[in-house]
Chain A
Amino acid sequence: MPGERLMTDAELDAYIDASAVVLGLTIAPEWRAAVRANLAVTFRMGSLVGAFELPDEAEPAPVFLA
């Protein structure tokens, strides 16, 4: 699971393949490297945010009304 360590390319590819089935997406072979690179960045961002401890009571802010 992202958040514990960086995923390997093989793990990312397996995740992409499984997710693509769930989502109904077809990923052409020539798109693969860019999708993998983007996903690696996305999961790094996710790890950074996930490492921040929040209490169980923390409320999401899906729509921010300043």
Chain B
Amino acid sequence: MPDLTWRGGTEIAASVASGALTARAVVDAALDRIAARDGVLNAFTDVTAARARARAAAIDAERAAGRPVGPLAGVPFAVKNLFDVAGLPTRAGSAINRARPPAVHDAVLVTRLEQAGAVLVGALNMGEYAYDFTGENRHDGPSRNPHDTSRMTGGSSGGSGAAVAGGLVPLSLGSDTNGSIRVPASLCGLFGLKPTFGRLPRTGSFPFVSSLDHLGPLARTVGDLACAYDAMQGHDAEDPCCAQRLENPVSAALESGIAGLRIAQAGGYFRANLMPEAERAVRLVSDALHAEPVVELPEAARARAAAYLITTAEGAALHLARLRERAAAFDPDVRDRLIAGAMVPAAMLIQAQKFRRWYQRAVSRLFDGVDAIIAPATPCCAPALGQKSFVLDGVELPVRANLGLFTQPISFIGLPVVAVPVAGPMPIGVQIIAPPWREDIALRIARYLEVSGTAVAQRPAEG
């Protein structure tokens, strides 16, 4: 059996389709790898081994019968535990939700990936109720960064980062309300896609902030990211925020290069509060893309503040009954933020929503002149587990709220972003930001950076 630890998903699928590998062998290898390594990484909260073996056997039977097996045939994947998985309570990182009845159906995106041949192998650790940028979890313990297990994965999709960067699976799904895909992608050295708000349906996932919640994939290659994204596209009427748009498959055009694209760097807000590794990563990516123009996202600090307000107020409203009845069962860090969020005056929240439209229009005008914008993903590489504060531009700030400093002003207006990893002693990510509905542009650029060697998911050394 070849070592599949670092093999890409589409490569695995090609081997399964050709008969060089069976889906069952691939899934068994992933389950063995999880058993061997997850005790350290703590990426998984549930391993669905029996289901995965049955699904793999079905794929092998399909192939033996001469039927097509899908572009992700036999590719093991796992999902943040806020996705419904039939038979499991959807815990969303909390202790409270464990008392929920098991989900009856899978989340729509899980179903769509399995329809493309992928095989679900489990559910992944996350920050409680997704209100987190660290990947630490009071109840399940922290997910650990595969590049240095004494450090954070980033969050809240921490297990989604650890599982893919640790070579346990080639593909995972996360959610991103303010940066929860892009932050762990950055700290774990992965490619992560946060699509346009409304592109992928959230049906069958536990919410956080309805007007900001996005779902998306993390992977070690752009090809895998694009293949998974293509498999998940399409309207679903059960998510009222899911746009009724035609699907826009991106995989076929990935190799189009960057000729003709006008790429700029984000200035101002996005040039402050950077540690040297973040500055270096942005410089390397900008140089590789010849992204010389600098554009200012107007009022980005205010946009971040407005995203913060909407998140804390909407999140608190979602959890208010639980805060009344079971406040002591929350992670204290989450509880105390949510209690404060419940006390936001209505006028303050509405002003944030009005500002949001102003900001969306102002940023959309920028895209009249550029096709993509480069910005840092995180201010620094992975902090140590348990680290509460860091110093940015001479000011001590809490880690938990500020790892998303650069992601929040982007998701605030739903723009599509690919986080691309830049290698180093510890990896760090850079955001490739595109206009609404132009995930194809961000993914093309990411692929160009991958081919040129600027962006790479580096393999961790295992101690």
Which of chain A's residues have a CB closer than 8 A to the CB of B55?
A: none
Which of chain A's residues have a CB closer than 8 A to the CB of B309?
A: 42, 45-46, 49
Task: Tell me what chain B mostly uses at the interface: helix, strand, loop, or mixed.
Answer: helix
Tell me if B198 counts as interface (CB < 8 A to partner A).
yes
On whether A46 and B415 interact (CB within 8 A), knowing A24-B324, A35-B339, A66-B437, the answer reads: no
Tell me if B302 counts as interface (CB < 8 A to partner A).
yes
Task: Identify B354's interface contact among A19, A27, A54, CB under 8 A.
Answer: A54
Task: Identify A26's interface contact among B308, B327, B355, CB under 8 A.
Answer: B327
Which of chain B's residues have a CB closer than 8 A to the CB of A24?
A: 324
A-B contact count (CB 8 A): 127
Task: Identify A50's interface contact among B210, B339, B341, B348, CB under 8 A.
Answer: B348
Please report the C-alpha to C-alpha distance between residue A51 and residue B449 in the assembled complex, in whole angstroms. Answer: 40
Interface string of B353-368 (1 = CB under 8 A from A): 1111110100000000
A66 touches B436 (CB 8 A): yes
Chain B residue with the shortest CB-CB distance to A46: B348
Least Cβ–Cβ distance between A11 and chain B, in angstroms: 13
Please report the C-alpha to C-alpha distance between residue A59 and residue B332 in the assembled complex, in whole angstroms. Answer: 36
Tell me if B196 counts as interface (CB < 8 A to partner A).
yes
On whether A49 and B355 interact (CB within 8 A), knowing A23-B320, A64-B211, A66-B413, the answer reads: yes
Task: Identify B302's interface contact among A34, A49, A61, CB under 8 A.
Answer: A49
A39 touches B198 (CB 8 A): no
Which range contains the number of B residues in contact with the other chain?
Answer: 35 or more
B305 touches A45 (CB 8 A): yes
Which of chain B's residues have a CB closer than 8 A to the CB of A66?
A: 196-198, 360, 413-415, 436-437
Tell me if A62 counts as interface (CB < 8 A to partner B).
yes
Binding site for A on B (CB under 8 A): 196-198, 210-211, 241, 243, 299, 301-302, 305-306, 308-309, 312, 320, 323-324, 327-328, 332-333, 335-337, 339-345, 348, 350-358, 360, 401, 413-415, 436-437
Binding site for B on A (CB under 8 A): 2, 15-16, 19, 23-28, 31, 34-35, 37-39, 41-42, 44-46, 48-50, 52, 54, 58-66
Instruction: Jot down 14 A-B pairs with beta carbons below 8 A, ordered by A.
Output: A24-B324, A25-B342, A31-B327, A38-B312, A44-B305, A48-B305, A49-B352, A54-B351, A64-B198, A64-B413, A66-B196, A66-B197, A66-B360, A66-B415
11 extra A-B contacts, CB within 8 A, seeds A46-B351, A52-B355, A66-B436: A26-B324, A31-B332, A42-B309, A45-B308, A45-B309, A48-B305, A49-B306, A61-B356, A64-B413, A65-B243, A66-B414
